[in-house]
Amino acid sequence: MSREAAKDDKDHDPLTIAAASIAAVAAKDVAAEARRWLGFIAHERRLSPKTLEAYGRDVAGFLGFLAEHLGGRPKLAGLSRLEPADVRAYLAERRSNGIEPRTLIRSLAAARSFARFLEREGSGKVAALAAVRAPKIARTLPKPLSVSAARNVADPASRAGEERAPWVLARDAAVLALLYGSGLRISEALGLKRRDAPAPGSGDTITVLGKGAKKRMVPVLPQVAQAIAEYISLCPFDLVSDGPLFRGEKGGPLSPRVVQLAMERLRGALGLPDTATPHALRHSFATHLLARGGDLRSIQELLGHASLATTQIYTAVDATSLIEAYRAAHPRARG
């Protein structure tokens, strides 16, 4: 690799970008510790490049606010002297700029992560960050599709009128069938290799790489395995064993945006609401399993949720759908 190419790669490295954004607003001692912290969360916690950049931006934003608020680039000694009022002022300033609570929570989490690192390394304690409560966010329930709608989305016949190559329609149907049939995230489905494809004609399992580089095994219905086999038989590209299973029209890895656009077309064709997204198929998988008596702990494992509390939101969804069905069907409920 040439010196110029190596420099270009370094300039586009997420850790370098994040460290530079912090160095632009903080004193040298804080910037040096921040770079060590970024390296720690990148390698020890295995954060994705986008998450690493987001954490860097969040901490840079916090330190940049402090630079203006306190009248100078913050140093380690200055961070230790912060008061809860300083942190509240930061949150208030962000709110006044229209930042949503969910983003504020992430920003505060990033700053707290950096503070914990400083304390663990003996570089100072930023007690003010722990003393301030994170903003509350309104809890919204997932909006699953009906069973019939979810089935239609994964049926290639639903897009039969489109002027698209048959292999493309088969590919999109296979991906959407995986999202609903196995409860996968888009990134998990598109991260599959050719060697991961299940055998057609029979129930099987596949191993997917989820958040935090955690692997889990998920079941694959015979219908889903058949949809994948149909796509493989029509795909015009050489699907090598260690290459991506799902390809774009030019032969590269399939982009999540292509799957989202396919879902948009299906919404129009099937008359589905805007909430019918690829991720809604994962919600539908969990909700429909729960409605059929699925065990909550098992659903947690299938979805790859780290906490059962995350999965428990589907119990509220199921209860809501039962009440809606009652009100629509019971004669006394329509009076």
Provide the annotated active-site residues: 185, 211, 279, 282, 305, 314
Q: 323 near 317, Cβ under 8 Å?
A: no
Provide the H-helix boundaries in 121-253: 127-131, 147-153, 166-182, 186-190, 222-234
Closest CA to 224 of 268, 285, 163: 285
Sign of the dihedral through C-alpha 310, 316, 321, 324: negative
CA angle 266, 221, 316 (to 5 degrees): 70
Q: How large is the angle between the packed helices 278-291 and 296-303, nearest 10 degrees?
A: 160
Q: How far apart are CA 29 and CA 75, in angstroms?
A: 6
Q: How far is the C-alpha of 147 from the C-alpha of 164, rounded, in Å?
A: 26
| 216 contacts 207 by C-beta, under 8 angstroms | yes
* CB distance 106 to 58 below 8 Å: yes
Q: Sign of the C-alpha dihedral, residues 295, 297, 173, 275?
A: positive
